[in-house]
Copies of this chain bind each other. A is one copy, B any other.
């Protein structure tokens, strides 16, 4: 397996997953454009199979395993969406999947992973090291570890969402992407700069999970304390070893948003766009609504990364904001 990810890896990934992936719609909103002053194109991966872009990387990885590897099964560790994606991709490919997920993941993600047929193991993300647990499991049973972001096949798969977006919408100047471990923004950057080297790429992180922003500033991968941000998919405490150099090379800057801004963005998506964004996806909308990017009057692509929000959190969002 080559560790290099380039434009052709993303294009090959799209060919590989083309028949099983949803070609998700690109939405526009006059209201959103009026408020922000941009022309915004929302690539709706919340409508992707499994409810998030993660299915792209999971399928692209598992379908490339050898017959022997497929027979031994796969193991994943993630905050939820990746586990769910691995369970679904595995089911479609006839592969046994074990998911190793934090015990405080939203119940909707736990149930969904179960619904797709995966076996689940829970751990305490404040006390246990998930990589160690999962590695032990894979060594004992010979299962293939499917990393959530730090893998060239996963990164290439994640980049296919941007590739579809660029093929559908002409002349995008800028793409904005949420950052957790950095898989989505890495794949997006490679796809975008392969398509047009002048595309500007911005990342968005929660204020309390800004490991990539700090790492970029210090030019070194920095670890931060675990965050409790509502953007549960973006709680990674350090950028990936593969993703960080890609981010350094391609990403112009990173902006941050607060949990309160994320909640207002989810509310905006519900009441004005009529779509569900999970908190980890809504960070980009939050940053756009807060006018946080140093760009003017541009055509901006946004990767809406997922829609698996906990219904109880959504209830809270609806109640809080209706008083504004």
Contact = CB atoms under 8 A, between A and B. Distances in A.
Interface stretch (A245-253, A271-279, A288-296): A271-279
A173 to B, nearest CB: 24
A322 B27 CA distance: 29
B318 A274 contact: no
Contact of A312 (B27, B46, B319): B319
Interface string A49-62: 10100000000000
Contact of A315 (B30, B46, B107, B319): B319
A47 interface: yes
Given A49-B30, A275-B276, A276-B276, A267 B318 contact: no
Interface in A157-176: none
A25 interface: yes
Contacts of A312: 318-319, 322
A94 interface: no
Contact of A270 (B49, B314, B319): B314
A108 B272 CA distance: 10
B314 A318 contact: yes
A311 interface: yes
A152 interface: no
Contacts of A107: 322
A223 interface: no
A220 interface: no
A107 B267 CA distance: 15
A276 B322 CA distance: 16
A267 B311 contact: yes
Greatest chain B CB density within 10 A among A47, A307, A311, A321 is at A311
A274 B276 contact: yes
Kindly name the residue among A27, A267, A318 whose own CB sees the greatest number of chain B CB atoms within 10 A. Answer: A318
Interface string A109-125: 00000000000000000
28 contacts: A25-B25, A25-B27, A27-B47, A46-B274, A47-B273, A47-B274, A51-B274, A107-B322, A108-B271, A267-B311, A270-B314, A271-B311, A274-B275, A274-B276, A276-B276, A311-B318, A311-B319, A311-B321, A311-B322, A312-B319, A312-B322, A314-B318, A315-B315, A315-B316, A315-B318, A315-B319, A315-B322, A318-B318
